[in-house]
Amino acid sequence: MKVPKNLGMRQTTVIVSLFLLAFAFVISNCDTGVQTVASGEELFLSYCAICHGTDGTGGGPMTEHLKLPPADLTKIAARRAGNFNADQVYQIIDGRVPVAGHGTGDMPIWGNTLKESEKLKNEKQVRQSIDNLVEYLRSIQQ
Q: What is the binding site for ligand HEC (CB under 6 A)?
A: 47-48, 50-52, 62, 66, 68, 70-71, 73, 76, 79, 89, 92-93, 102, 104, 106-108, 110, 133
Q: Which is nearer to ligand HEC, 2 or 119 (CB)?
A: 119
CB of 72 to ligand HEC, least distance (A): 8
CA-nearest of 41, 37, 50 to 114 is: 37
CB of 32 to ligand HEC, least distance (A): 26
- Give dist(CA 77, CA 137) in Å, integer: 10
Q: Which is nearer to ligand HEC, 51 or 120 (CB)?
A: 51
CB 44 within 8 A of CB 76: no
Q: Which is nearer to ligand HEC, 14 or 86 (CB)?
A: 86
CB of 129 to ligand HEC, least distance (A): 9
CB 109 within 8 A of CB 93: no
Half-sphere exposure of 70 (CA within 13 A, CB side): 24
Nearby residues of 37 by Cβ (< 8 Å), 6 or more positions away: 43, 118, 120, 125, 128, 129, 132
Q: Which is nearer to ligand HEC, 13 or 112 (CB)?
A: 112
CB of 67 to ligand HEC, least distance (A): 8
